[in-house]
Structure 1
């Protein structure tokens, strides 16, 4: 597949044309979005409906002064208006800037001000925070209020669309034109805005098709709890599903394991993207799902953290699906992963490559991926290094997956690459090992890997081992500063329902890890907490816990030398 695969990127390409307009013209009656609110309210939107509403919104935004290239903020959860807004902005040649409904006023103000967004479209989940942030956003001219937020902005969605035409002549955009501005999590410094071109969707497709076991098949229905405000929800779920003209389920409500299974059963979901965090919760809450639910699942993709063999076994044995792990990031998404085979209606076997429990998978066709060292040299098999993607594929053709750069941050853009700008490796900042067969084995973020007593420690292996214990719902491993050994391994553990922490359980968990991993990997200290700090994309923020340990160590050191400091963090 790698040898025969060639990119076909037309000079002109627009996401809205590919994901909406062409399907609306083809009869338009096929279902695009199936919507359910946690209150029980439901709705269905066809591709024709999606286009008509997007056309009306494009007119309304033009009336508000939005021009090609302008940033339009979308602060909404999974709901039809979110998909409509994306299509409307893309076909205008403007730039959609999705923002999480979980952002507070400060987070919203930074992104709105930094991006110089001219319009924000927001519903009841975020209208209060957005109004509070507005004073710090001088470029923000209009707020379009959606749903129960109507009356609290400058323009109401329904009233604005009602007076506009359902016909619209879309702007012709180049494949290289910007389409999306997504701000990264900001684990190291202020969040950076990654500017994504229209062509990046094409770059995502090989990985999406493969990780979803050759999507689409007749009758495929997609659902994921991933927020559409992030790359995982937008580029790994919403847009590629619409690109293939299939229906996607939009659920507006809080995630729970039981609700996830209910949705998948009710809507006969065949394909999904589930974070490891979600899968771990489902595994603990519903250990035998097929005894309670009638599922139609044929493919599960997972990304964000290492899946681990415990969750892998749960998918295989209890869900009846081999979980296809995937790896990517906002700037260069969907580059590595696994793929299962399937037999189509004509009896043809579409091959994949067997998943290895604990492996990130192999590079998807079209992407030249390697593990490189600090000097940009490719590491031999078995040697850890930085996962990187080359700007050009194995044929020397440009890879369309790449972002255009960081918004107003040329220095950070340059730092992302190693080598000549047109012939460079793009570093992911994630550490892995590649084996002889080309499979990648994740070791953690480069800044998460640490040394303890001279040994290099990757947290994911230890965390995966801890989660196999029935008392553990989730875990995060970080270094705890130690004056003699530099650092010791410490684990923060979230207990599964029905279990209580204490000295006996600490010793049991330590023995559990010691008997399965290397002696130097078992956690010398374990702390039980109610919840791990997480990003809004579902990734564990180990950095928060690491900084907490460093602050505690400073407190202990100051106390030992008679220094005066404030109260220590609560244990």
Structure 2
């Protein structure tokens, strides 16, 4: 997720009509100008905006440029597994699928802005859809690796007071073994092509969900993600990322750590391909 977010953050396009409003206003400023603005903010040269939401201010604006023909529909997401199966989405397709996922979180799961959801999946396309859906709904995601044990899951669910968890068939039995000890846990989402008693099948709900969704209006300082430390010298501790530190902070790392740039009209436009 971090590498993917760095790449997309470098393509950040700020809309001129503010955050989470209907896209009927004039188009955003020229691409080089907007990218330079976001980079200046991430480097502390300009103040952080009061409101920011990565899904709306970056992904949806880029999708609008595709729709209006201002950029070709290049892949926003390209996933290939070990057997060669591919999933490839344009920004418009990623937006549509993540809005459907957002409706799943708000609808069946009943999650509201500020609620916490633990996300423990291998590298499946569903991971990225749900993470963007969390941004759209204001739900705070808590990523976890698939190697977590039942003890690890129990500690994190209790410490974070998570209301929901998303995982795969492999970890579902471990969650079932400790869920009774996690009173805050209300819904369990299963990413699978099969069903399991006591679990809600995410893929079935996604297929039936509406692609229409209004992004919540989030402040730059609102929480977007919580990571647990490795716990080297004690119990793992929670580390919070805000909407701006997660979305805007990676603009600089994408440029200076990953060297993401291209030449356009004799000028460098960061992160564009």
Are the aligned partners of 1:123 and 1:148 in contact in 2 as well (CA < 8 Å)? no
Contact persistence 2:261–2:268 (CA under 8 A): no
**Structure 1 residues 152 and 38: alpha-carbon distance in aligned structure 2, compared to 1, 3 A threshold:** farther
Q: Larger % of helix: which?
A: 2
1:20 to 52, 59, 76: 59
Give the conservation status (yes or no) of the 8 Å contact 2:53–2:220. Answer: yes
What residue is the counterpart of 2:254 in the other structure? 208
Report the equivalent of 2:46: 7
Question: Contact 2:120/2:144 (CA < 8 Å) preserved in 1?
Answer: yes
Listed as ranges, the matches of 1:87-166 within 5 Å are: 87-148=132-193, 150-151=195-196, 154-166=199-211
Residue 33 of structure 2 corresponds to residue 33 of structure 1:
no
What's the CA shift for 1:133? 2.8
Q: Which has the higher contact order (CA 8 A, sep 6+)?
A: 2
Match in the other structure for 1:69: 114
- Does residue 187 (structure 1) correspond to residue 187 (structure 2)? The answer is no
Alpha-carbon separation, structure 2, partners of 1:5 and 1:170: 27
Contact 2:229 2:236 in 1 (8 A): yes
Greater strand proportion: 1
The answer to which of 34-43 and 75-84 deviates more is 34-43
Partners of 2:153 and 2:78 lie apart in 1 by: 29
- Determine which structure has more spread, i.e. the larger CA radius of gyration: 1
Distance change (3 Å), C-alpha of 1:80 and 1:131: same
User: Could you say which residue in structure 2 is the equivalent of 1:548?
Assistant: none
Kindly tell me: are residues 152 and 216 of structure 1, through their superposed partners in 2, closer, same or farther at Cα, counting changes over 3 Å?
A: farther
Please state if 1:53 is matched with 2:92: no
Give the whole-Å Cα distance in 1 for the aligned partners of 2:157 and 2:112.
17
The 5-angstrom pairing of residues 317-332 of structure 1 reads none
**Which structure 2 segments of 5+ residues have no match?**
1-38, 68-72
Aligned pairs for 1:233-312 within 5 A: none
Question: 1:474-504, CA deviations, whole angstroms, 9 ceiling, x for partnerless residues?
Answer: xxxxxxxxxxxxxxxxxxxxxxxxxxxxxxx
- Whole-Å Cα distance in 1 between the matches of residues 75 and 194 of structure 2? 27
Structure 1 segments unaligned to the other structure (5+ residues): 218-343, 351-571
Q: C-alpha distance in 1, partners of 2:214/2:266? A: 42
Q: Give 1:526-537 correspondences, 5 Å limit.
A: none
What TM-score, normalized by structure 2, do the two folds share?
Answer: 0.74
The two structures have a TM-score, normalised by structure 1, of 0.37
Residues 243-298 of structure 1: per-residue CA shift (max 9 Å, x gap): xxxxxxxxxxxxxxxxxxxxxxxxxxxxxxxxxxxxxxxxxxxxxxxxxxxxxxxx
The 3-state SS of whatever aligns with 1:135 is helix
Distance 2:81 2:65 in 1: 29
Q: Distance in 2 between matches of 1:345 and 1:163?
A: 42
Relative distance call for 1:198 and 1:61 in structure 2 (3 A) is same
Give the superposition deviation at 1:148: 4.3
Q: Distance in 2 between matches of 1:190 and 1:159?
A: 37
Q: 1:206 to 1:51 in 2, by over 3 A?
A: same
Cα deviation, residue 19, structure 1? 4.0
How far the C-alpha of 1:17 sits from its partner, in A, is 1.6
